[in-house]
Amino acid sequence: MTTKSLLIKQISAILVVVIVFFAFNYSVYMLVTNRLGNNFSDTSQAKMVDVEKYLPHNPESDLVRIDSSLKLNDNLPVLDGAAALLPVYAAFVDNVYPKGSVTFESGNFSDDNFYGENFATDSKMQYKNTVRGYKAIVDGTTDILFCAAPSAEQVQYAKDNGVELEYVPVGKEAFVFFVNKNNPVDNLTADEIRKIYSCEYKNWKEVGGANRTINPVSRLEGSGSQSAMNAFMGEAEFGIKSPLAITGASIGFSFRYYMDGVVENEDVKMLSLNGVYPSKENIENNTYPVIAQFYAIYRADNENENIPVLIDWILSDEGQKVIEDTGYVRIN
């Protein structure tokens, strides 16, 4: 072999290694990495909601405003809640609490930190989302938490700490399933979804769709939607999917207004369940099969006299109008 042909082979060998690894990493980037952002930016920062859009007492905020008959000025209960319910409890603060009750660590709102908010510890509105919010209500740093039903672990955490929680249903919402807008499937039965999540069905063609692997996506354990999904599964157990399923066509679950009103991503679509689309009308007339309540949760031993006052107002026509005009369904 001549020196020149040997050199060409050596360089070719190095190039082949580089090209193979580049092609592999590029494929992983297109199939996975490129999709690991949040709903409001391409970063992987945990940002479930654009909090700045829902800051109370800011004329530019996207909050429901009514002529509230209730105005609280002192002993203000600290409100906290799930990302999906931020527009609701921020509107309660806006309508009932005085200006200056929502404060930030540096004086001004910032979403630079990982969880996207810098509410000061003395702020009467917080945003810890469901998992940290349940811990905060049990630990006593939050007075009223607005969330979906708790997970078994969250109930146990309260019990372990000797805390009794009161759950007051204040609104209703549909628990929905969604897929990419290009997925030809528009409807699934509840049984089909359970079989997808138990990994009995592994390909979309088994439910009348395309010949693609199903990637059933779950949420963080303890989040409101994951707790709702656990309840939806009932006796059926979650299966263990293949690691390669992540490259398949996904199905996810959430709450209707979070998808439709908060995130508003046009590249996903909600599925009909048992032939019924999760519209507001179908929640109101109870034809959609999976309707969840959401709650105002507080410690039974909390002596703040404004907690029952505020909850009575939330259950009144005024509070229910805030819930309804935000996009949820009233409980009464």
Residues lying near other proteins in the complex (CB under 8 A) are found at: 6-7, 10, 13-14, 17-18, 21, 24-25, 28-39, 44-48, 178-183, 217, 219-220, 249-252, 254, 259, 263, 265, 267-268
CB closer to other proteins, 120 vs 220: 220
CB closer to other proteins, 118 vs 129: 129
- 72: phi > 0 → left, psi -120 to 50 → alpha, else beta; which? beta
Least Å from the CB of residue 245 to other proteins: 12
> Cβ neighbours of residue 194 under 8 Å, at least 6 residues apart?
232, 233, 234, 236
Least Å from the CB of residue 60 to other proteins: 24
Number of C-alpha atoms within 13 angstroms, CB side, residue 241?
24
Q: Which two tokens stand for residue 13?
A: 């060998």
Least Å from the CB of residue 166 to other proteins: 31
CB closer to other proteins, 117 vs 143: 117
Q: Rounded CA gap, 39 and 128, in Å?
A: 18
Task: State phi, psi for 15 to the nearest 5 degrees.
Answer: -65, -40
CB closer to other proteins, 56 vs 252: 252
Least Å from the CB of residue 277 to other proteins: 18
CB closer to other proteins, 136 vs 268: 268
Least Å from the CB of residue 265 to other proteins: 5
Amino acid, res. 261: G
Burial 153-170 (b: 16+ CB within 10 A, else e): ebeebbeeeebebbebeb
